[in-house]
Amino acid sequence: MSGARSDTLAATLADDVVEQLVERERAHPVLVAVFADESCLGNGREGANPGGAAGVIEYRSPQTGRLSRFDYWVSEPATTNNRMALRSVIEAFRILSRKGTRFRVTFTSDSQYLVKGMREWVHGWIARGWRRKEGAIENLDLWQEAVAAVRPHQVDWQWVRGHAGHTQNEYANDLAIRAAREQSASNGPVPSGFDAWLEEQRAKGRKLSDPVPFPDEAAFRAARGF
């Protein structure tokens, strides 16, 4: 990551977490929430199908209780939905891991491929030396990269139905579609446009739920680690 925008999240985390709470975080990592989605324009169609992956990261300061949001997105010129779902994980955890801090993370996606893979499939693949009983693993390089990025953290993988009015998921979807169309990347975290987007969508009459509240610290349960 480079530039002032890219350092926004890192600076916030450094101020609120790394410098003041290093010892505490070793025993009880700070909780963050990630809502991610992916898009592939023309997925499954012959030829090169451009895609995007995106997410909104939510962080609540342990000192002030203030909620901050940061967006990220990446794109590929020829890809698939499944590939971009994995990219949404890799990019999110690259951002979170930049300062070497470990977090508890609630990661929400509408990709069953991703959520089932991270909660269930990868453990068997790893035990068999990254092999499936049925044959080769699709997107093996990205699964391995995702597992490596996630490994230092404690993660709860949550699935949500797509295009069902879940506000943060719909926002991430819009970011991913834009990234796919523009073939753009945020180059790290940027201040979120979530609030302005939500106001605009409601003014247009789009049916969206209230934003999902920040996860309950006491209710957090991490999935099996790697």
In a domain, 118, yes or no: yes
Range of the domain at 178: 3-219
Query: What is the Cα Rg of the chain in Å?
Result: 17
CB neighbours (10 Å) of residue 19?
Answer: 10
Q: Over the stretch 90-128, which tens digit does the pLDDT of each residue have?
A: 999 999 999 899 999 999 999 999 999 999 999 999 999
Mean pLDDT computed over every residue of the chain: 90
Whether residue 225 contacts residue 147, with contact meaning beta carbons closer than 8 Å, is answered with no
In a domain, 63, yes or no: yes
Nearest to residue 215, comparing CAs of 82, 64, 23, 58?
58
In a domain, 20, yes or no: yes
The tally of domains found in the chain comes to: 1
**Residues near 155 by beta carbon (within 8 Å), at least 6 away in sequence:** 104, 105, 106, 107, 118, 222, 223, 225
The answer, yes or no, to whether residue 87 has pLDDT greater than 50, is yes
CATH of residue 92's domain is 3.30.420.10
**Residues near 116 by beta carbon (within 8 Å), at least 6 away in sequence:** 159
Identify the band that residue 17 occupies on the pLDDT scale cut at 50, 70 and 90. Answer: very low
In a domain, 225, yes or no: no
